[in-house]
Amino acid sequence: METGAKLQKLSMVGVYVATMIMQMVMAREGKDQHISVIFGEDERKVLGALVKTLEGKTEKQKNPHSPDCLSWAAWIIARLGGWSGYESDSKAGPITMRCALKKFDSTLKGWLLAKDVSTD
């Protein structure tokens, strides 16, 4: 960090990620937005594949939200972070969401790599 411009860029990345996390935390509280506010088409495909592995067998462990809503993605991300999925448990907070976003990013990178390899 030799210049103010570099520090400014780093700060903007931090603000962007913090905003994403808070949008997901707010979505699970009922202040929902469309999923495209945060996630692009490839990311939504990965979320769609992940939800099948994260949902349980009972109705209580199914994602109750519409796939067009940010709350649907927040439910999946929270499950990746270790949240049980039960409404009776405390909701996933910002730290859980941040850790889960790291896992999701790794999964997304692997999916994109596999997609690129398969098209060659």
CATH of the domain at 71: 1.10.740.10
pLDDT at 29: 77
Number of separate domains in the chain: 1
Cα dihedral 105→107→110→114 (10° resolution): -130
Average pLDDT of the segment spanning 20-41 = 90
pTM of the model as a whole: 0.85
The reported pLDDT for the residue numbered 40 is 94
Q: How far apart are CA 37 and CA 68, in angstroms?
A: 10
Cα–Cα distance between 103 and 110 in angstroms, integer? 11
Q: What is the mean pLDDT of residues 97-103?
A: 93
Domain that holds residue 48: 4-119
Q: What's the pLDDT at 3?
A: 80
